[in-house]
Amino acid sequence: MLLGYCNDRSVNSGVPGDGGGYLHWRCALRRGHEGLHRYRNYVWNEQRDVEYAPVPIADPMPLQPWERRCIRTRRQMREAIEWHKVQDEKRAAIRAERRRAR
């Protein structure tokens, strides 16, 4: 953000179902831009709905300020671990219910 780029992300955490796209996608447009956020040929809105919208051939491809790696932040890791724990508990409860029903 200090470099003048929007830096909005299509995914706020590593939890599945939290937005579309990939963790490393960040908006390549300048800060304060109008309209949708863009990572190369994909755009998203404030609700994180991602869709394919190729850049017109006459327009230059927006340059990414820097290439990012697909490494989660500590917060994203904590949220993903918590999400997986909840899903494991739900699966265990379903298995236990099936065993009792036999």
Predicted confidence (pLDDT) per residue in 11-69, tens digit: 876 666 677 888 778 888 888 888 899 888 999 988 888 999 998 888 888 777 666 56
Structure tokens at 63: 């340059």
**Alpha-carbon separation of residue 100 from 22, 86, 93 (angstroms):** 40, 21, 11
Cα–Cα distance for residue pair 6/102, rounded to 1 Å? 56
Confidence of residue 81 (pLDDT cuts 50, 70, 90): very high
Cα–Cα distance for residue pair 78/97, rounded to 1 Å? 29
